[in-house]
Amino acid sequence: MTERAGHIRSIARALGLLHAMNEKQPCTIAELQSATGLPKPTVFRILTTLEDEGYVRNEGGLGRYRVTEKTRRLSAGYGEKSLLIDIGAPQLLAVTRSIKWPLALGTLDRDAIVVRYSTMPYSPLAVQATTLGHRLPLLETAMGQAYLAFCDVSEQKILRELLRASALEDGSSTEEMIESLIAQARRRGYGLRLPRASGGSATVAVPVLRDAQILGVLSMTTFGNLMNEKLLATYLPVLRNTAQSIVEAIVVHEGTREPDLAPVG
């Protein structure tokens, strides 16, 4: 394999060694040499470095190595939201290439939905370059409404309290508005944002649900004057099928993924 510019071979070898150690523990230098194809001196140097850093331990000086609890920290930043994007992004891109409209995946971040992935850069019909990283209010956006309507009762209670607190501060929302928008989105099965002015865009969003748990929200943005019952009837099934496909892929991944790096015994 041709190495890209900037590729650091020593880091790649260390990661490969950790991967091999995750397959079988404890293991000897000879076993790691066989598993990785690295020269024995290289395996020894990597193991010594990892041991000095606390990621590997030599069991009683017997030449048998295993990873330590510290290796769990390497995956601490990778959670369910990261998995949703890793698995969902290729599917969204494939759908956009088929239907042309831009799609996005968002997840909750405190009191807003953050767009974690957007296919706007790949859509000929995108209304802007991208929405990646945008923070979307819960009540005023399709993604926010879909999340509010389909998150579990305890989470919705907390989000309602946040919205009420915000309403008291700026007077922008009322209890009736909160209840109405949640009930409407729940009844429809999706969130909807219509354009506020002529020439604006519109968005429809559906929840990504695994059983009763909401993992995130999936949206499609169009030109505002095209958002009508016909368009919804055409593309809502696409969005719902895509959301379900993402969930199914996550389930398959979790059933076949390798165990976390962790000490055995």
Q: Look up the CATH number of the domain holding residue 42.
A: 1.10.10.10
In angstroms, how far is the first alpha carbon of the chain from the final one? Answer: 37
pLDDT band at 207 (very low <50, low <70, confident <90, very high): very high
Does a structural domain hold residue 211?
yes
CATH code assigned at 108: 3.30.450.40
Residues 206 and 235 in one domain: yes
Both structure tokens of 75: 């995956």
What does the pLDDT read at residue 265? 35
Q: Looking at the domain assignment, is residue 154 inside a domain?
A: yes
105 with 193, same domain?
yes
* 62 in the same domain as 102: no
| Final residue belonging to a domain, choices 24, 46, 75 | 75
CB atoms < 10 A from the CB of 253, how many?
12
- Separation CA 93–CA 72 (nearest Å): 31
Sheet holding 27-28, edge to edge: 27-28, 64-67, 56-58
Q: Domain range holding 116? A: 80-255
As for how many domains the chain has, the answer is 2
Q: Mark which of 27, 50, 75 sits at the end of a domain.
A: 75
Instruction: Please say if the pLDDT value at position 171 is more than 70.
Output: no
> Does a cis peptide bond (omega within 30 degrees of 0) precede residue 26?
yes
Which pLDDT does position 174 carry in this prediction? 76
Indicate if 106 and 229 belong to the same structural domain: yes
* Residue 115 CA from chain centroid, whole number: 10
Q: Using CA atoms, how far apart are residues 90 and 78, in angstroms rounded to an integer?
A: 18
**pLDDT reported for residue 77:** 67
Flag whether pLDDT at 168 surpasses 70.
no
For the entire predicted model, the pTM comes to 0.75
| Residue 261 located in a structural domain | no
Structure tokens at 49: 């470095």
Would you call 248 helix, strand, or coil by DSSP?
helix
Name the DSSP letter for residue 133. T
Higher pLDDT, 112 or 256: 112
Q: Is the pLDDT of residue 262 over 60?
A: no
